[in-house]
Chain A
Amino acid sequence: DTAVSQTPKYLVTQMGNDKSIKCEQNLGHDTMYWYKQDSKKFLKIMFSYNNKELIINETVPNRFSPKSPDKAHLNLHINSLELGDSAVYFCASSQFSGAPNTGELFFGEGSRLTVL
Protein backbone atom coordinates (compact mmCIF):
# COMPACT_ATOMS: atom_id res chain seq x y z
CA ASP A 1 0.00 0.00 0.00
CA THR A 2 1.75 3.14 -1.26
CA ALA A 3 2.28 5.76 1.45
CA VAL A 4 2.35 8.85 -0.81
CA SER A 5 0.88 8.41 -4.25
CA GLN A 6 0.76 10.86 -7.11
CA THR A 7 -1.17 10.75 -10.36
CA PRO A 8 -0.43 10.90 -13.16
CA LYS A 9 3.16 9.72 -13.25
CA TYR A 10 3.73 11.25 -16.69
CA LEU A 11 2.12 14.22 -18.42
CA VAL A 12 2.97 15.42 -21.90
CA THR A 13 1.11 18.49 -23.04
CA GLN A 14 1.26 21.58 -25.24
CA MET A 15 2.14 25.08 -24.16
CA GLY A 16 -0.87 27.04 -23.00
CA ASN A 17 -2.78 24.03 -21.72
CA ASP A 18 -3.96 23.52 -18.14
CA LYS A 19 -3.08 20.40 -16.16
CA SER A 20 -3.53 19.00 -12.66
CA ILE A 21 -1.54 16.60 -10.52
CA LYS A 22 -3.11 14.82 -7.58
CA CYS A 23 -1.48 13.56 -4.41
CA GLU A 24 -2.76 11.40 -1.60
CA GLN A 25 -1.05 10.14 1.55
CA ASN A 26 -2.24 7.38 3.85
CA LEU A 27 0.29 7.98 6.62
CA GLY A 28 -2.00 10.09 8.76
CA HIS A 29 0.35 13.06 8.38
CA ASP A 30 -0.97 16.57 8.73
CA THR A 31 1.49 18.43 6.51
CA MET A 32 1.90 18.06 2.75
CA TYR A 33 4.20 19.69 0.21
CA TRP A 34 4.87 20.24 -3.44
CA TYR A 35 8.48 20.27 -4.59
CA LYS A 36 9.76 20.95 -8.10
CA GLN A 37 12.85 19.12 -9.36
CA ASP A 38 14.44 20.59 -12.47
CA SER A 39 16.56 18.88 -15.09
CA LYS A 40 19.69 19.39 -12.96
CA LYS A 41 18.01 17.55 -10.06
CA PHE A 42 17.71 20.74 -8.02
CA LEU A 43 14.79 20.54 -5.57
CA LYS A 44 12.78 23.62 -4.72
CA ILE A 45 9.87 23.82 -2.34
CA MET A 46 6.75 25.35 -3.83
CA PHE A 47 3.93 24.99 -1.33
CA SER A 48 3.10 23.43 1.99
CA TYR A 49 -0.22 22.81 3.68
CA ASN A 50 -0.80 21.95 7.31
CA ASN A 51 -4.29 20.62 8.04
CA LYS A 52 -5.64 22.20 4.84
CA GLU A 53 -4.08 25.57 5.66
CA LEU A 54 -1.45 27.05 3.33
CA ILE A 55 1.71 27.65 5.40
CA ILE A 56 4.45 27.89 2.80
CA ASN A 57 4.01 29.70 -0.48
CA GLU A 58 7.32 30.29 -2.19
CA THR A 59 7.79 32.66 -5.10
CA VAL A 60 5.84 30.58 -7.56
CA PRO A 61 3.92 32.08 -10.52
CA ASN A 62 0.21 32.60 -9.96
CA ARG A 63 -0.42 30.03 -12.69
CA PHE A 64 0.29 27.40 -10.03
CA SER A 65 -2.57 26.87 -7.62
CA PRO A 66 -2.50 24.24 -4.90
CA LYS A 67 -5.62 22.94 -3.24
CA SER A 68 -6.01 20.73 -0.19
CA PRO A 69 -9.54 19.36 0.20
CA ASP A 70 -8.51 17.49 3.35
CA LYS A 71 -5.27 16.74 5.14
CA ALA A 72 -4.71 13.53 3.19
CA HIS A 73 -4.89 15.18 -0.23
CA LEU A 74 -2.98 17.94 -1.95
CA ASN A 75 -3.52 18.78 -5.60
CA LEU A 76 -1.62 21.09 -7.92
CA HIS A 77 -3.27 22.85 -10.82
CA ILE A 78 -1.18 24.62 -13.43
CA ASN A 79 -2.70 27.10 -15.89
CA SER A 80 -1.27 28.26 -19.18
CA LEU A 81 1.66 25.87 -19.16
CA GLU A 82 5.04 27.18 -20.31
CA LEU A 83 8.14 25.37 -21.54
CA GLY A 84 9.93 26.21 -18.28
CA ASP A 85 7.34 24.30 -16.30
CA SER A 86 8.80 21.05 -17.58
CA ALA A 87 10.11 19.27 -14.49
CA VAL A 88 9.37 16.49 -12.06
CA TYR A 89 6.90 17.52 -9.39
CA PHE A 90 7.10 15.70 -6.08
CA CYS A 91 4.49 15.53 -3.43
CA ALA A 92 5.67 14.86 0.12
CA SER A 93 4.17 14.60 3.56
CA SER A 94 5.38 14.84 7.13
CA GLN A 95 4.02 14.76 10.63
CA PHE A 96 4.22 18.31 11.87
CA SER A 97 4.79 18.10 15.59
CA GLY A 98 5.28 21.73 16.44
CA ALA A 99 8.60 22.50 17.99
CA PRO A 100 10.78 20.56 17.58
CA ASN A 101 9.56 19.10 14.34
CA THR A 102 11.34 16.24 12.74
CA GLY A 103 11.62 17.43 9.16
CA GLU A 104 11.38 13.89 7.92
CA LEU A 105 9.63 13.95 4.58
CA PHE A 106 7.96 11.05 2.81
CA PHE A 107 7.98 11.50 -0.95
CA GLY A 108 5.80 10.25 -3.74
CA GLU A 109 7.39 8.86 -6.89
CA GLY A 110 6.99 12.10 -8.79
CA SER A 111 5.01 13.35 -11.75
CA ARG A 112 7.12 14.11 -14.81
CA LEU A 113 5.64 17.02 -16.73
CA THR A 114 6.82 17.70 -20.26
CA VAL A 115 5.58 20.83 -22.00
CA LEU A 116 6.04 20.90 -25.77
Chain B
Amino acid sequence: AQSVTQLGSHVSVSEGALVLLRCNYSSSVPPYLFWYVQYPNQGLQLLLKYTSAATLVKGINGFEAEFKKSETSFHLTKPSAHMSDAAEYFCAVINMKTSYDKVIFGPGTSLSVIP
Protein backbone atom coordinates (compact mmCIF):
# COMPACT_ATOMS: atom_id res chain seq x y z
CA ALA B 1 0.00 0.00 0.00
CA GLN B 2 1.12 3.51 -0.70
CA SER B 3 1.82 6.07 1.98
CA VAL B 4 3.31 9.53 2.25
CA THR B 5 5.16 11.17 5.10
CA GLN B 6 5.98 14.83 5.39
CA LEU B 7 8.74 15.78 7.77
CA GLY B 8 7.78 18.86 9.75
CA SER B 9 4.15 19.73 10.32
CA HIS B 10 5.12 23.39 10.41
CA VAL B 11 7.90 25.25 8.61
CA SER B 12 8.76 28.93 8.98
CA VAL B 13 10.98 30.83 6.56
CA SER B 14 11.87 34.47 6.11
CA GLU B 15 10.63 36.30 3.07
CA GLY B 16 13.19 35.81 0.29
CA ALA B 17 14.66 32.67 1.84
CA LEU B 18 14.70 29.18 0.36
CA VAL B 19 11.62 27.06 0.90
CA LEU B 20 12.17 23.32 1.39
CA LEU B 21 9.25 21.06 2.24
CA ARG B 22 10.05 17.39 2.63
CA CYS B 23 8.08 14.44 1.33
CA ASN B 24 8.93 10.74 1.40
CA TYR B 25 6.76 8.07 -0.09
CA SER B 26 6.31 4.36 0.20
CA SER B 27 5.10 2.43 -2.80
CA SER B 28 5.65 -1.07 -4.11
CA VAL B 29 5.17 0.09 -7.68
CA PRO B 30 6.32 3.20 -9.53
CA PRO B 31 4.22 6.02 -8.15
CA TYR B 32 2.80 9.20 -9.49
CA LEU B 33 3.54 11.98 -7.00
CA PHE B 34 1.92 15.33 -6.47
CA TRP B 35 2.16 18.49 -4.44
CA TYR B 36 -1.03 20.35 -3.65
CA VAL B 37 -1.42 23.71 -1.91
CA GLN B 38 -4.32 24.83 0.26
CA TYR B 39 -4.75 28.51 1.03
CA PRO B 40 -6.86 29.44 4.07
CA ASN B 41 -10.54 28.60 3.70
CA GLN B 42 -10.04 27.20 0.21
CA GLY B 43 -9.86 23.85 -1.47
CA LEU B 44 -6.64 22.26 -2.63
CA GLN B 45 -5.05 23.07 -5.95
CA LEU B 46 -2.33 21.25 -7.81
CA LEU B 47 1.16 22.75 -7.67
CA LEU B 48 2.99 20.11 -9.69
CA LYS B 49 3.11 16.41 -10.45
CA TYR B 50 5.63 13.71 -11.29
CA THR B 51 4.46 11.11 -13.78
CA SER B 52 7.63 9.14 -14.57
CA ALA B 53 8.96 11.58 -17.16
CA ALA B 54 11.55 14.15 -16.06
CA THR B 55 12.66 13.74 -12.46
CA LEU B 56 12.83 17.50 -11.90
CA VAL B 57 9.34 18.89 -12.15
CA LYS B 58 8.44 22.57 -12.35
CA GLY B 59 5.12 23.82 -11.12
CA ILE B 60 3.20 27.01 -10.64
CA ASN B 61 4.32 30.02 -8.59
CA GLY B 62 8.03 29.18 -8.94
CA PHE B 63 7.88 25.85 -7.12
CA GLU B 64 9.70 22.74 -8.24
CA ALA B 65 10.26 19.24 -6.92
CA GLU B 66 12.74 16.49 -7.63
CA PHE B 67 11.89 12.81 -7.69
CA LYS B 68 14.69 10.72 -6.16
CA LYS B 69 13.94 7.03 -6.36
CA SER B 70 16.98 6.00 -4.31
CA GLU B 71 15.80 8.19 -1.45
CA THR B 72 12.05 7.65 -2.05
CA SER B 73 11.70 11.40 -1.81
CA PHE B 74 9.87 14.16 -3.63
CA HIS B 75 10.86 17.36 -1.82
CA LEU B 76 9.32 20.69 -2.80
CA THR B 77 11.50 23.77 -3.16
CA LYS B 78 11.25 27.42 -4.07
CA PRO B 79 14.35 29.64 -4.24
CA SER B 80 12.78 32.72 -2.68
CA ALA B 81 9.73 32.71 -0.41
CA HIS B 82 7.00 35.27 -0.85
CA MET B 83 4.40 36.26 1.72
CA SER B 84 1.71 34.85 -0.54
CA ASP B 85 3.28 31.37 -0.23
CA ALA B 86 1.96 31.01 3.32
CA ALA B 87 -0.39 28.03 3.10
CA GLU B 88 -0.76 24.33 3.83
CA TYR B 89 1.14 22.02 1.48
CA PHE B 90 0.24 18.40 0.85
CA CYS B 91 2.32 15.74 -0.81
CA ALA B 92 0.26 12.96 -2.41
CA VAL B 93 0.77 9.64 -4.16
CA ILE B 94 -1.28 7.48 -6.47
CA ASN B 95 -0.77 3.85 -7.38
CA MET B 96 -0.47 3.75 -11.14
CA LYS B 97 -1.43 0.12 -11.35
CA THR B 98 -4.85 0.39 -9.81
CA SER B 99 -7.79 0.78 -12.08
CA TYR B 100 -9.15 3.89 -10.45
CA ASP B 101 -7.97 7.13 -8.96
CA LYS B 102 -7.13 6.82 -5.28
CA VAL B 103 -4.95 9.71 -4.26
CA ILE B 104 -3.38 9.30 -0.83
CA PHE B 105 -2.41 12.53 0.88
CA GLY B 106 0.34 13.13 3.39
CA PRO B 107 -0.44 14.88 6.69
CA GLY B 108 0.46 18.31 5.34
CA THR B 109 3.04 20.98 6.18
CA SER B 110 1.98 24.45 7.18
CA LEU B 111 4.32 27.07 5.72
CA SER B 112 4.66 30.44 7.42
CA VAL B 113 6.56 33.29 5.79
CA ILE B 114 8.04 35.90 8.11
CA PRO B 115 8.42 39.44 6.76
Q: A42 to chain B: closest CB distance in Å?
A: 6
B96 sits at the interface (CB 8 A): yes
Chain B residue contacts of A43, Cβ below 8 A: 44, 90, 105, 108
Chain B residue contacts of A55, Cβ below 8 A: 100
User: What is the interface size of chain A, counting residues whose CB is below 8 A from a CB of the partner?
Assistant: 28
Contact A110 B43 (CB under 8 A): yes
B-side binding surface: helix, strand, loop or mixed?
A: strand
Q: Which of B34, B38, B46, B100 has the most CB of A within 10 A?
A: B100
CA distance A104 to B43 in the complex (A): 13
Contact A104 B110 (CB under 8 A): no
Q: Smallest CB-CB separation from B92: which chain A residue?
A: A103
A75 sits at the interface (CB 8 A): no
Interface residues on B, range: 20 to 34
Q: A28 to chain B: closest CB distance in Å?
A: 16
8 A-B pairs with least C-beta separation: A107-B43, A103-B94, A43-B105, A41-B108, A107-B44, A55-B100, A109-B43, A103-B32
Chain B positions within 8 Å of A, measured between CB atoms, are 32, 34, 36, 38, 41-46, 49, 51, 88, 90, 92, 94, 96-97, 99-105, 107-108, 110
What are 20 residue pairs bridging A and B, where the CB atoms are less than 8 Å apart in the complex? A33-B101, A40-B107, A42-B108, A43-B90, A45-B102, A50-B100, A56-B102, A90-B43, A92-B44, A94-B101, A96-B100, A96-B101, A99-B96, A101-B96, A102-B49, A103-B101, A104-B34, A105-B46, A107-B45, A110-B42
Chain A positions within 8 Å of B, measured between CB atoms, are 4, 31, 33, 40-43, 45, 48, 50, 55-56, 90, 92, 94, 96, 98-105, 107-110
